Structure 1
Amino acid sequence: MNAAKSNKSFSFLTCISISISILSHLSSATDTLSLGQFLSGNQTLVSKGGNFELGFFSPGNNSSNYYIGIWYKNIPTRDIIWVANRETPVSNPSTTELKISQDGQLVLFNQSKLPVWSSNSTRSISSDAKLAVLLDSGNLVLKNVSNSSASIWQSFDHPTDTWMPGAWLGVNKVTGEFQSMTSWKTPKDPAPGPYTERMDPDGSNQYVFLYNNSEVYWRSGLWNGQYFGAVPGTREKTAIMLSFVDGEVWKYATYTITVPSMIARFVIDSSGQGKTWLWLNSSQQWQQIFTMPLSPCDVPSLCGAFAVCDQKSSSLCSCYTGFQPASPPAWNSGDWVSGCVRRTHLQCSSNISNGGEQDGFLEMQNVKLPSNPQSLIVSGAEECKLACQNNCSCTAYAYDTTCSIWQGDLRSLQQLYDGDAAAGSTLHLRLAASDLPSSRRSHKWVLAVILSAVAALVLIFFAVLGVIWMLQRQKRGKISMHVEGPLLRFAYVDLQHITKNFSEKLGGGGFGSVFKGTMPDSTIIAVKKLEGVRQGEKQFRAEVSTLGSIQHINLLRLRGFCCEGVNRLLVYDYMPGGSLDCYLSPNSEVLDWRTRYQIILGIARGIAYLHEKCRECIIHCDIKPGNILLDAEFCAKVADFGMAKLLGRDFSRVLTTMRGTVGYLAPEWISGLPITPKVDLYSFGMMLLELVSGQRNSSHSKSKTFFPSWAAQQVMEGDIMSLLDDRLDGQADMEELMRVCRVACWCIQESELDRPSMGQVVLILEGVLDVNTPPIPKMLQLLMQEDHQPELHFYNHLRTIKDEEQSENCQNSVVKSQNDT
């Protein structure tokens, strides 16, 4: 009987112990951590609305370090917005606990039950301060149970590398305490990196980026009551609204999102740049919309020690002459922070008498000099050189009316080019004699070899020239020997030779970059390097051969292609008139109405041929001014047709990139409906409105509302002259203008069933068919309403960014065309 009582007592105690253990763990779905509970292993907190999640994460696939962090719950990529123990990772989350201590602090204990991180709130904590809540804003708040509206500590007060909407960044004017954001050390290491954003330490109302908390390399510009001068997107009302508060205690900035469904964040990343990201539901990826500073080379020490940053180089960072990467694996993966080291140790001047060779100096021209030089008072350049040469710790010098020398590691060296805003200087880099490109060593055997070789070189000089000439002829002959049907098949090395190793870029877009080249017979061509092609070689050749057989006066002629390994290139005729994009800005060349109408008619005929005259209907899918090229006689050529066939599944991803073709996408793309040739009609209609007005829709000065909506209203009311480009002074055929405007409005109807076919459009433009007054599209009517203005402002803002980039490309194209002429 006693044994039975003992067993019952043991069972009762066991149940109590198990119950306590269960209660100490979190339930599967909660946003709250209370006293007596802890979070470990795979357990997480999820905000009440399901926007954010808090738990353990590991930043790399092969990393054994774990951190407590907060990330977006409903986004497929795990993007961390806050990290608790970024300096003290743990190795085993299953034996690690995050809980509220008895004194009301939020504490992380490792597997040895030692605290590795704490909230360390300095505010007064009452005995009932035992509740932590993850909010739908991404803010982790520690508060009193009895007074849930007052927070004792919150993660928004202690940002890591991300500034979230509703959070703030400022300074306590009473205590002098600054809030700051600090980058991750590397993309896979959340430890604090060298780059920080905070308010200007000098007390001015602006924000600065700091390197090692000392060197300022970017400023936001002073707050003038409405915006920060150097921050894009704060000069006008957009969906991202920034405000600045200067109170008695705190001075800070904060921002909000005016469109509730929009997801945005600002990050100072491990590269030292501040970037604003916007989540695109259509492509399920983040789109970068602002970057500060614009050039990555303006970030100090981006390339590490003894490396030069060259924005025009494909690799961005490269070691100085005489240096090599300190960590080749990291360098090859794009992690340049480890920098470079010397190939050969320097010989100090005092060691020359012992048989060493004297160090020399390599002249590096047109560079932005490293920071923190030491100034010397000397009488000239030669004395400046001797001062560095006689100082064993001197690694470089520069002389420009004054003498500057550098000791130790050289960082933040930037290569400049003619035309850059900053004036370049000349740096003299100290190298071992053996690493100088033209060594001054004068060994007798070198002199003997040179003297004996002179006679032989004279004899074989003409023979070498003859061999080179023959090889060049053979190479040029090879280029035109490979023929597949109507197309030339080029070898990749031939295209490298034709384009001078792809050195002269004509432009670029979502499908790839275009380079200028010259054939052996002096014919100028354009070579497009495709990106994102996943087709096999056989299928790619078959599709290209099909496109090569398509010939029409208003379609850009495909001359040939290259298909070698991962390289996919297309060779086209060169169009000296550039793209139609270059004529859609206030400062561009003015096209008269007759030229514009012939361009419109040519575009329509080219698209109609693709839709109705080919063996298989070809949907262009990306009709826009940038894909309309002009020859010397301003004959329109539709370019990039058939890209959907070549790019396959990746086509929609390229097409819907927000900074690529915003403004021309038919509603079918966004709603996910099946794609038909009518998507080209919608894009064509939007383009007609721009060509008639001579301006971009988003930058049009005639309307305060969405321009296509306003334009459709004018067409319906018969006031078509208000749509005409002011620079034409009303010089246009009224009948032709009426046809174009009505066709444009029929083409941009929301339902594809209401849009005409491209064949009907051609007949209308040719005057064969009549066209009635169209209704205003329902979608455009919706955008004219006041409650949809934030979406409209943000749409126009993104279009403005794209237009500014296109304007710069067009200016470069104009310069190249003038040089060709």
Structure 2
Amino acid sequence: MFLSAGGAKLKPATMLNITNRCSYTVWPAAMPVGGGVQLDPGATWTLNVSGLASHGRVWARTGCSFNGRGNGSCQTGDCGGMLACKAYGRPPNTMAEFTIGQFNNTDFFDLSFVDSFNVPMDFLPVQDQGGPGCGKGPRCAANITSQCPSELTAPGGCNNACTVFKQDRYCCTGNAAYNCEPTKYSLLFQQICPDVYDYSMDADWKKTFTCPLGTNYQIVFCPSINLNTSLPSTGSSSSSKRRIGLILGTVVGFILIAGFLLFFVHRRRTRRHREMEEEEEEFGKLQGTPMRFTFHQLEVATEQFRDKLGEGGFGSVFEGQLGGERIAVKRLDQAGQGKKEFSAEVQTIGSIHHINLVKLIGFCVEKSHRLLVYEYMPKGSLDRWIYCHDDNIDPPLDWSTRCKIITHIAKGLSYLHEECTKRIAHLDVKPQNILLDDNFNAKLSDFGLCKLIDRDMSQVVTRMRGTPGYLAPEWLTSQITEKADVYSFGIVVIEIINGRQNLDPSRSEESMHLITLLEKKVKHDNLVDMIDKTSKDMQAHEQDVIQMMMLAMWCLQIDCKRRPKMSEVVKVLEGTMNAESNIDHNFVATNQVNFRIADNAASSVPPLASHVSGPR
């Protein structure tokens, strides 16, 4: 610890040593600390990033030309045509993101492909300063530009598929990690640079690295792919002997490794087969579970899984017919994938019944096959009806229908939280998991991530689960209650009112995050701007809509104890109770806050923007 002249404790300085090992010149930019330089091959720039009020970013610009006054332009990663950057860069660029010591004296850092790719990068802690708990740091040494698919190719870099196609299956924001379809582009990028955050794979928040405050870091553009140094050569005779010995050793090593791999694969298959048999027996012993089907029965009911309705985080959903009744059959994609989620859904939703919960008719556990059979919901999921897409030909929902849907969601959650033997936290409340029947009656679905909480427990400790863009701030403590669902419900209500996703990367920086936009509008007394402009009926009910927004903002309190119970939300919706008016109008955690879990004060680290709140 350092002391000032007056004896006050000072935080140690944190330095970024930024080195260019590319064969060409780069012009790195840094936000929000500012500054900009020209880095020729082999040159280094040292940047002091101590005491940042928010997270920062560093990226490389290429193909730049600046005059003596620092004005010009760059082919990639530009930021307003200034050498000393005053704005965020335009794609393509690879970003290093960091938050220095703002939370529990810990640094958080990552590499991100969110804004596409332009140069390979390392973001590593200086080895002699990596204290206890210091992460290894992310590396991306391969040049993805040279392997960029033609559809994504951009001057000087490679665009993100989300930027080019602007579809959920490429962006994975509203549909999020668990419902994300790996594409040929995302898989390519992840295989080449697995440490780097992208939209493509689930659990991306695990790609945030940490180090103690006071650690210095090195950012290297175009790092060496092979970190091992080569041995110096000696005389020709000894070199030949060494080469022969090396070849023999390699062959023997290969045979041993191949034998070990065969043994390992065989043992793994045997163990998996035994686990599947035990799992089948376990389901047979469970009391109160729904009807059990054979795989052949469901093959016939779905006509060999002919008509796909959609895809979820762990499988695809198909339409079927069973005894004259239309059904929806969810089939897990691979044996073992989502096993816990499958068991949770069968044992939880199979034993409870409510008009606003999708009915689980039955299930199948047979060898490697895992299937769930639900009642059929003809209108599909809510996101189809509230998000304004160019290809959406359905008229916008009127205000009374939106009110009905909101009320049904609230009643379903109230039943889970307060009327079951054990409190059930859904933990993945979002429009994609809210299904609609022919009359737009809404029902909660997809209970694969739910958590049971005993009535005498104030909280439950669990790993992070859910969908980026809908996660409550207390998730980073891993100590949550059913109030996490209340926060997600608040976000869904704002989406229903506004007609767009909470996170929309196709929009400008300032309007990309809907809840942040809500903060600005309420503080400027301009909530009317948040009402869906595609619906004249919504505009006609302006005051009622604003009252609904006030209820949603009560649910969006960062302090979970200040959020209402879902039964109180239902009372407000039914007009027997007023919403709380004394609320905080900050809904997104951007610094160290007290999340007030149970009776204990628990501070948490807000994740980098790309991990929980989604893209910038």
Normalising by structure 2, what TM-score? 0.51
Change (3 A) 1:578 1:707: same
Greater Rg over alpha carbons, structure: 1
Q: 2:317 — aligned with what? A: 515
Equivalent position to 1:584, from 350, 370, 387: 387
Contact 2:523–2:585 at 8 Å: present in 1 too? no
Counterpart position of 1:671: 477
Matches within 5 A, 1:283-298: 285-286=206-207
Aligned residue for 2:497? 692
Alpha-carbon offset, residue 701 of structure 1: 6.6
Partner of 1:235: 91
Residue 465 of structure 2, aligned match among 635, 652, 655? 655
After TM superposition, list the pairs within 5 Å mapping 1:740-751 onto structure 2. Answer: 740-751=548-559
Summarize the Cα distance change of 1:712–1:236 in structure 2 as closer, same or farther, 3 Å threshold.
Answer: farther
* Secondary structure in structure 2 of the residue aligned to 1:514: strand
Write the mapping of 1:152-301 to structure 2, written as runs, cut at 5 A.
156=21, 224=75, 226=77, 235=91, 239-240=95-96, 253=119, 263-266=137-140, 268=142, 274-275=192-193, 277-278=195-196, 285-286=206-207
For 1:776, the aligned partner's letter is D
Q: What is the distance in 2 between the residues matched to 1:254 and 1:549? A: 52
Cα deviation, residue 579, structure 1: 1.2
- Secondary structure, aligned partner of 1:775: coil
2 CA distance for matches of 1:515 and 1:781? 36
1:561 equivalent to 2:363? Answer: yes
Which amino acid counterpart does residue 765 of structure 1 have in structure 2? Answer: L
Contact in 2 for aligned 1:742/1:774 (Cα 8 Å): no
Residue aligned with 1:721, SS: helix
2:295 is the alignment partner of 1:488: no
* Per-residue deviation, residues 771-820 of structure 1 (Å, max 9, x unmatched): 2435335463748xxxxxx98764699458xxxxxxxxxxxxxxxxxxxx
SS of equivalent residue, structure 2 residue 331:
strand
Residues 776 and 754 of structure 1: is their aligned pair in 2 closer, same or farther, counting only changes over 3 Å?
Answer: same
Match of 1:627 among 411, 417, 433: 433
Q: Which amino acid aligns with 1:493?
A: H
Structure 1 gap ranges (5+): 1-48, 52-134, 140-153, 159-164, 173-203, 207-222, 228-232, 243-251, 288-326, 335-482, 784-789, 801-821
Secondary structure of the corresponding residue to residue 539 of structure 2: coil
SS of the residue 2:361 aligns to: strand
CA apart distance, 1:759: 0.2
Mapping of residues 589-738 of structure 1, within 5 Å = 589=394, 590-641=396-447, 643-644=449-450, 655=465, 661-672=467-478, 674-699=479-504, 703-704=510-511, 706-715=513-522, 718-729=525-536, 730-738=538-546
Aligned residue type for 1:689: I
Deviation (angstroms), 1:606? 0.9
Query: Residue deviations 1:367-409, cap 9 Å, x none?
Result: xxxxxxxxxxxxxxxxxxxxxxxxxxxxxxxxxxxxxxxxxxx
C-alpha distance 706-514 of structure 1, shift in aligned 2 (>3 A): closer
**1:493 Cα deviation after fit:** 2.5
CA distance in 2, matches of 1:778, 1:675: 20
Distance 1:574 1:664, change over 3 A: same
> 2:236 maps to what in 1?
none
- Matched residues in 2 for 1:497 and 1:606: separation? 33
- Cα deviation for residue 696 of structure 1 reads 1.4
Q: Distance in 2 between matches of 1:779 and 1:237?
A: 30
Q: Secondary structure at the match of 1:561?
A: strand
The one-character-per-residue Cα deviations of 1:705-742 (angstroms, maximum 9, x if unpaired) are 74313313434555331110111235343443133211
- Secondary structure, aligned partner of 1:682: helix
What secondary structure sits across from 1:731 in the alignment?
helix
Q: Deviations over 1:496-515 (max 9, x none)?
A: 333344454333333x1132
Residue 559 of structure 1 deviates from its aligned partner by 0.8
- % identity of equivalent residues: 32
Q: Within 1, Cα distance between the matches of 2:307 and 2:462?
A: 29
- Post-superposition Cα deviations, 1:249-284, rounded to whole Å, max 9, x if no partner, equal xxx956687999995433559997544643699888
Note if contact 1:238-1:793 (Cα within 8 Å) is conserved in structure 2.
Answer: no
* SS of match in other structure, 2:497: helix
Cα offset for 1:768? Answer: 1.1
Q: Residue by residue, what CA displacement relative to the aligned partner does 1:344-382 show, whole Å, maximum 9, x if unpaired? A: xxxxxxxxxxxxxxxxxxxxxxxxxxxxxxxxxxxxxxx
Q: Equivalents in 1 of 2:487, 2:583: separation in Å?
A: 15
Secondary structure, aligned partner of 1:780: coil
Q: Which amino acid aligns with 2:578?
A: D
Contact kept, 8 Å, 1:259 with 1:791, in 2: the verdict is no
Letter in 1 for 2:501: R
Partner residue in 2 for 1:56: none
Alignment-derived partner of residue 584 in structure 2: 776
1:488 Cα deviation after fit? 2.1
- The 1-side partners of 2:341 and 2:403 are apart by 42
- 2:575 maps to which residue? 767
**Whole-angstrom distance in 2 between the partners of 1:715 and 1:561:** 47
Q: Give TM-score, length-normalised by structure 1.
A: 0.39
Aligned residues: 385
Indicate the SS of the match to 2:588.
helix
Displacement after TM superposition at 1:640 (Å): 1.4
Describe the superposition over 1:588-627 as per-residue Cα deviations: whole angstroms up to 9, x where unpaired: 4321212111111111111111111222221101111111
Partner amino acid for 1:593?
W
Greater per-residue strand proportion? 1
RMSD between superposed Cα atoms in Å: 5.4
| 1:562 partner letter | C
Q: Distance in 2 between matches of 1:501 and 1:520?
A: 13
Structure 1 residues 799, 680: CA separation in 2 closer, same or farther (over 3 Å shift)? same
C-alpha separation in 1, matches of 2:410 and 2:613: 30
**Pick aligned residue for 2:565 from 754, 757, 763:** 757
Does 1 or 2 have the higher relative contact order (CA < 8 Å, sep 6+)?
A: 2
Residue 373 of structure 1 is matched in structure 2 by none
Structure 1 pair 238–760 and aligned structure 2 pair: CA distance change class (3 A): farther
Q: Note the alpha carbon deviations across 1:431-487, whole angstroms, 9 max, x for none.
A: xxxxxxxxxxxxxxxxxxxxxxxxxxxxxxxxxxxxxxxxxxxxxxxxxxxx98673
Gaps of 5+ in 2: 1-11, 24-29, 31-38, 42-61, 65-73, 79-88, 98-110, 112-117, 127-133, 148-186, 209-257, 266-285, 453-460, 592-605
Shift, 1:581, TM fit? 1.9
Assess, with a 3 A threshold, how the Cα gap between structure 1 residues 491 and 636 changes in structure 2: closer, same or farther. same
Distance in 1, matches of 2:76 and 2:197, equals: 29
**Contact 2:122 / 2:138 at 8 angstroms: preserved in 1?**
no
